[in-house]
Structure 1
Amino acid sequence: MERVGERASATNLELFFDLVFVFALTQVTAMMAETPTWPGLLRGALLLSVIWWSWIGYSWLSNWVKADEGLARSAMLIAMAAMFLLALAIPEAFDDLPGGLDGPLVLAFCYLLVRVVHVWLFWIAAGDEAELRAQLVRFVPSMIGGTALLAIASQLSGAAQTAVWAAAVLADYGGTMLIGTKGWRLPSAKHFAERYGLIIIIALGESIVAIGVGVTHLAISWPIIVAATLGLAIAGALWWSYFDTHVLAAEQALAEARGAERVRMGQVAYTYLHLPLMIGIVMLALGLKKVLGYVGGEKGHTLADPLYGPPLWAMYGGVALFMFAYVGIGWRTKHVFKVERVVLGVVLLAVVPLVSYVPAMASLGVLTVLLIALIVYEWFKYHDIREEIRHATHE
């Protein structure tokens, strides 16, 4: 298998591999939309955590060996098939439907297969790297523990099932954190940052899909056009806030770091802190889908009806979570703390009780205005720094 160089870029196979995650994110949004309750949102977040953990393993692997060469190509395709089957089982992740196979157990088995292929290929790719192989051995207990807990959860229901799912996520994430970073490598900062940027684009694309899916069965109207435009503006604002300079500055910091520090930065800023970015975007997608249904007259709703409860908190809280995670990533990579983003996140959470009394379209408009105001404010405040980062990167 061919090793990855410092200036490597994402391969076509990696982009193809990511397509199953588009489907998985759509499945999670649809599942939460069917039961937009607090337990439903929690279960959605847990599902996203499992899906994310499946993806990040291959982001590290493909930074070590080229994904489209030799044995890695076949292994990636096998993992892709397992991930697709996992996504198919998402509607039954917590409640098995009558007939057929046990849905929750199928999901747990597919998750195990995705993880086993990852560790097996990494073991082969490690070659004579004794430290990396030792780290992979230490990695196995958390993998087995997480998947075993998912299998146990498949036979439970209600709060007990959700609690065991949470324990499974904790076993995976916490176990990996406890074994440390010794032996891991990040040969290409450019490739690593690019992969995470692409998955953020995929998540934002899913939010746009949610807007369209939310109204496919409704007659097109001016309220739908206005709401869809506002939803697209929100997705565009999040794209701007991440890709305008953030992704460039973070990649620069990762490239400048060396050895163990680069690995630690990659683990914290990307592997861990990009998860709340993803959850925030998917929660936003849920809120957007509900707003479009409201303004389109779905299930007897009118333009005067407010969006309230978990869907409203998902929409505003999702964006707030995105902002908080962004601040954490900026601090870990460049030691830059953007106070205005923390302030926006707090404001978003504070206004939820107020906008729950206004029409759904108005709550969408308020969110749009707040995000655009942030973009305009940062455009002027960081104008010189922004120009320096962008021009330095493109030289």
Structure 2
Amino acid sequence: MNGGRRPITRTMRRGQPTDLLELFFDLALIASLTLTSQKMANEDTWTGLAQALLALSTLWAVWVTTTSFTDLYSPQERPVQLVILGIMFGGMLMSAALPTAFSSHGLAFGATWAAINWGRGLVLLASLRGRRERERPLRVLAWNTVSGTLWIVGGLVPDPGTRLAVWLAALAVDYLAFGLRFPIPGRPRLLQYDVVPEHLAERYQQIYVLTLGELILVTVLTLSDMPFNIGRLSAFAVAFVAAVLLWWSYTRGAGARLRSAIERSPHRSRLVQTNPYAHWLMVVGVVGLAAGFERIIEHPAERPEATLTALTLGGVALFLIGRATLDHEVLGRIPLSHVIGVLAAVALVPAAPHLPNLVLSVVAALVVLGVAAVEFVRWQRGGAVPAPP
């Protein structure tokens, strides 16, 4: 215990449910997802979409690193609780700065993310003083020093294009460091910590469903601000069907088996490392679809611009790529239906400008429906459909 200090690492390795503080923390992500989809919906340039995607990917990193943090350290301990609440406040501040992150509030967005990483590392170093578990936060803080500097520099750069380039480099450092387990030259590779399969799987299942909730929220809010007509009500109905299909596909597939896969996989460390990236693809796809449906509900009879086509068909493709990645890691295979679905979404891009927005949304939903139908038939032939989480 080192001088009577209580350890902050988790001591119960099995049967550890999600802490209520973690669910409270997730509430902050709702604002992030909604503001990101609104920014995507309002952008009509590729640069604007790239900015929104970078912001979403950064806020996703806030959630992923916090989830890994609470999987290793107990939310019941006071220092961990204070860190979670601090990150929650920082995430809310980043969300508030998101719409103007590439104009007037760049420093607020970038410096807050740097402060989150540095603050978490410093608290851990103080709490683990004299313990061998200190090696991990030391390495993480070393990498965060590099990326955090880039985040602050990017926030100080006045030119939006240069800021985007600097922040892309900073985000690449964050994602590569996490994926490679924070390597340090001359030091042995950092071992994967002893994960809590039930907790980790439950957290990713919850955040995916929460993302679907954002799709529902955006469509409801958009329709509520518009006069009802047949076109808007039809687009709203298509958005609901798409949300149901995205939920069904995940909860009847690899998402439902995530816990058992983590428990039984001989490559557990690889699964733990790839899981955030697979879910990131699915989350980006769902948020893109939410942005697309927002514009489609507003203008169902208009022809889609290139950015709207990217949000709608690209959102479907990204979701299916994420699902295929998760299936590969959890079930050991990439379903052919997912590959065909991605190819179908890409093949429909040239025809999209000639279709009304409403028809484009129906086509996108039909691609997801086709993949889900093939999955259902395969599961019926192969045995019982797995229960949802």
Given the two structures, how large is their TM-score scaled by the length of structure 1?
0.89
Which whole-Å CA distance do the structure 1 matches of 2:192 and 2:279 have between them? 19
- CA distance 1:165–1:10, change in 2 (3 Å): same
Which whole-Å CA distance do the structure 1 matches of 2:241 and 2:173 have between them? 38
- CA distance 1:18–1:190, change in 2 (3 Å): same
After TM superposition, give the deviation of residue 121 of structure 1 in Å: 4.5
1:215 aligns with 2:223: yes
Q: Residues 361-382 of structure 1: CA distance to partner in whole angstroms, max 9, x if unpaired?
A: 1111112222222212211112
Which whole-Å CA distance do the structure 2 matches of 1:81 and 1:7 have between them? 29
1:27 aligns with 2:71: no
Q: Residues 239-280 of structure 1: CA distance to partner in whole angstroms, max 9, x if unpaired?
A: 11111131122321101136xx42331111x22222111111
Which whole-Å CA distance do the structure 2 matches of 1:123 and 1:342 have between them? 45
Partner of 2:200: 192
User: Which one of the candidate residues 171, 174, 182 is aligned to 2:173?
Assistant: 171
Amino acid at match of 2:168: A
After TM superposition, give the deviation of residue 194 of structure 1 in Å: 0.7
Partner of 2:242: 234
Q: Aligned-residue CA RMSD in angstroms?
A: 2.1
Show structure 1 runs of 4+ deviating over 6 A: none
**Alpha carbons 1:61, 1:118 under 8 Å: kept:** no
SS in 1 for 2:299: helix
Which whole-Å CA distance do the structure 2 matches of 1:372 and 1:9 have between them? 33
1:290 aligns with 2:290: no
5 Å-filtered alignment, 1:1-395, equals: 1=8, 3=10, 4-96=12-104, 103-123=105-125, 130=132, 132-154=133-155, 155-178=157-180, 179=182, 182-257=190-265, 261-268=267-274, 270-295=275-300, 303=301, 305-385=302-382, 387=384, 389-390=386-387
Moved more, 17-26 or 333-342: 333-342
SS in 2 for 1:214: helix
Which whole-Å CA distance do the structure 2 matches of 1:384 and 1:124 have between them? 56
Which whole-Å CA distance do the structure 2 matches of 1:68 and 1:315 have between them? 42
After TM superposition, give the deviation of residue 113 of structure 1 in Å: 2.4
After TM superposition, give the deviation of residue 207 of structure 1 in Å: 1.3
- CA distance 1:325–1:182, change in 2 (3 Å): same
**Alpha carbons 1:60, 1:186 under 8 Å: kept:** no
Which whole-Å CA distance do the structure 2 matches of 1:169 and 1:308 have between them? 29
Moved more, 369-378 or 76-85: 369-378
After TM superposition, give the deviation of residue 221 of structure 1 in Å: 2.1
Which whole-Å CA distance do the structure 2 matches of 1:177 and 1:367 have between them? 32
Partner of 1:99: none
After TM superposition, give the deviation of residue 386 of structure 1 in Å: 5.5
- CA distance 1:196–1:125, change in 2 (3 Å): farther
Which whole-Å CA distance do the structure 2 matches of 1:9 and 1:109 have between them? 33
**Alpha carbons 1:135, 1:184 under 8 Å: kept:** no
**Alpha carbons 2:281, 2:318 under 8 Å: kept:** yes
Which whole-Å CA distance do the structure 1 matches of 2:117 and 2:152 have between them? 14
**Alpha carbons 2:286, 2:319 under 8 Å: kept:** yes
Runs of at least 5 residues in structure 2 that lack an aligned partner in the other structure: 1-7, 184-188
Q: Residues 51-88 of structure 1: CA distance to partner in whole angstroms, max 9, x if unpaired?
A: 11111111111112332443322221122111111111
Amino acid at match of 1:282: V
Partner of 1:300: none
Query: What is the number of residues matched between the two proteins?
Result: 374
After TM superposition, give the deviation of residue 105 of structure 1 in Å: 0.6
SS in 2 for 1:382: helix
- CA distance 1:156–1:142, change in 2 (3 Å): farther
Which whole-Å CA distance do the structure 2 matches of 1:283 and 1:189 have between them? 29
**Alpha carbons 2:94, 2:112 under 8 Å: kept:** yes
Q: Residues 340-361 of structure 1: CA distance to partner in whole angstroms, max 9, x if unpaired?
A: 1011011101102212211111
Question: Identity, % of aligned pairs?
Answer: 22
SS in 1 for 2:73: coil
Amino acid at match of 1:17: F
**Alpha carbons 1:227, 1:364 under 8 Å: kept:** yes
Which whole-Å CA distance do the structure 2 matches of 1:330 and 1:264 have between them? 14
Q: Residues 4-29 of structure 1: CA distance to partner in whole angstroms, max 9, x if unpaired?
A: 42221112111110111110111111
- CA distance 1:313–1:74, change in 2 (3 Å): same
Amino acid at match of 1:330: D
- CA distance 1:262–1:118, change in 2 (3 Å): farther
**Alpha carbons 2:118, 2:145 under 8 Å: kept:** no
